Homo-oligomer: A and B are copies of this chain.
């Protein structure tokens, strides 16, 4: 289904909803569309429509749709259900998907749910829940197909044929020891298909790729998948026992969320943010960010306040001062964004940070000279004063260099302190370029006009 058809589907559903044709909508949601498409429709529906659509989904489909929803929306829907309904949903899902859903619930409710589950399910889910959501253990599924190393290709093929179905995204079988289920190697299906039937698995299995420890952070898992072009990979615990596997579809979600994280954080938003979050929730979240930025703005104003006498003398300063702050902010933001992307891609580290700092400082110096010249000329003509041109030119060069310094060093320092550069970096950078910009410009003016 293309995006075009998908749009049409939403339009059709909307008009059907508006005309009250609930039967028709119910049929489309449960029989025509796949769960992932229903989830996408829910994600792009405003709260009221979303609620109506959700209520039209058959109980046995709810779980499948739920697992494709963004975390924010998932948590919202789950929070409105009672324990019985939640239990019914978990019964339609695979163990690892149940664990994903449980992670969106308050701990009290999770414990309650686990208690009413049967023992075998409870134990398997508790094992997965032991790993945080953003680690290999939290990402993994438990649907591995395992074989022993000492059997032949022919035996292996016969063993597989006894399965009615092999789990989706199975590109490899995992070879494990007979005793402790320890991971030994990987056997790609493509290798199995072209090998001599008489040969043993041990002779053809792949032992190059190291298994993934369950506590590896998910961004490291993603970079392993990208580097080695993996479709699936085995996950082991500390003693080497095979716990499960990670598949590329879940890794793609990690990659998308990590990439969205920088974009959204720089604007003070959460990468899980529901585009159609309701009014009050949105207002509350945005208010916090505006408040933080207000403090920044007040600080900048208080710097200007120090120079009221100078501005009183030369009102042209008030006209020109936003230019200095803005140029520094723009130059600094470019450096900051490049650094944050560089950190996300693993390009930036101690050994090359000095080179980056030098280049950014020189870029700012060169661009500072160019644009300071232009602004100085414009200001001189505008206000028929040479002094004001000199003052604004110098201030721009200073602020561009400070912008480059802050844009390069803030991400390094914040990261070393364990603070997210994408979230805190842009606010701090604007504070610095505003304060320095106003101080340099008005300070120099006070000196020249004083």
Residues of chain A whose beta carbon lies under 8 Å from any beta carbon of chain B: 1-3, 6-7, 10-11, 14, 34, 36-37, 40, 43-46, 157, 160-161, 163-166, 168-171, 189-190, 193-194, 216, 220, 223-229, 231, 248-249, 251-252, 255-256, 259-260, 262-264, 266-269, 273, 275-276, 278-279, 282-283, 286-287, 289-291, 293-294, 296-298, 300-301, 304-305, 308, 311-312, 315-323, 325-327, 330-331, 333-334, 336-338, 340-342, 345-349, 351-352, 355-356, 359, 362-363, 366-367, 370-371, 374-375, 378, 382, 430, 434, 438
Contacts and interface: CB of A to CB of B under 8 A. Distances in A.
Given A164-B194, A330-B289, A363-B283, A342 B6 contact: no
Contact of A297 (B273, B327, B363): B327
A3 to B, nearest CB: 6
Contacts of A287: 367, 370-371
Contacts of A293: 326-327, 330
A398 B223 CA distance: 46
A212 to B, nearest CB: 10
Given A43-B347, A294-B374, A296-B326, 11 more contacts: A165-B190, A225-B252, A226-B249, A248-B252, A268-B330, A275-B356, A276-B359, A282-B363, A291-B371, A293-B327, A300-B326
B371 A290 contact: yes
Given A252-B252, A290-B371, A169 B231 contact: yes
11 contacts: A161-B193, A163-B194, A193-B193, A259-B259, A263-B337, A269-B334, A275-B338, A275-B342, A279-B359, A282-B363, A290-B367
A330 B263 CA distance: 14
A300 B318 CA distance: 11
The 5 nearest A-B residue pairs measured at CB: A259-B259, A318-B318, A267-B337, A166-B190, A44-B347
A334 B160 CA distance: 53
Contact of A323 (B7, B166, B297, B323): B297
A140 to B, nearest CB: 16
Contacts of A378: 298
Nearest to A366: B283
Nearest to A291: B371
Given A223-B3, A268-B334, A334-B269, A352 B45 contact: yes
Given A194-B165, A367-B286, A334 B304 contact: no
A74 to B, nearest CB: 16
Nearest to A262: B263
Given A161-B194, A330-B293, A301 B275 contact: no
Contacts of A359: 46, 276, 278-279, 282
A292 B25 CA distance: 49
Given A301-B320, A322-B434, A327-B297, A249 B275 contact: no
Contacts of A165: 190, 194
Contacts of A171: 169, 171, 189, 231
A6 B346 contact: yes
B227 A1 contact: yes
A358 to B, nearest CB: 9
A173 to B, nearest CB: 10
A333 B255 contact: no
A268 B337 CA distance: 10
B44 A276 contact: no
Given A193-B166, A279-B359, A322-B325, A351 B14 contact: yes
Contacts of A294: 323, 327, 371, 374-375
A305 B331 CA distance: 25
Contacts of A1: 227
Contacts of A45: 352
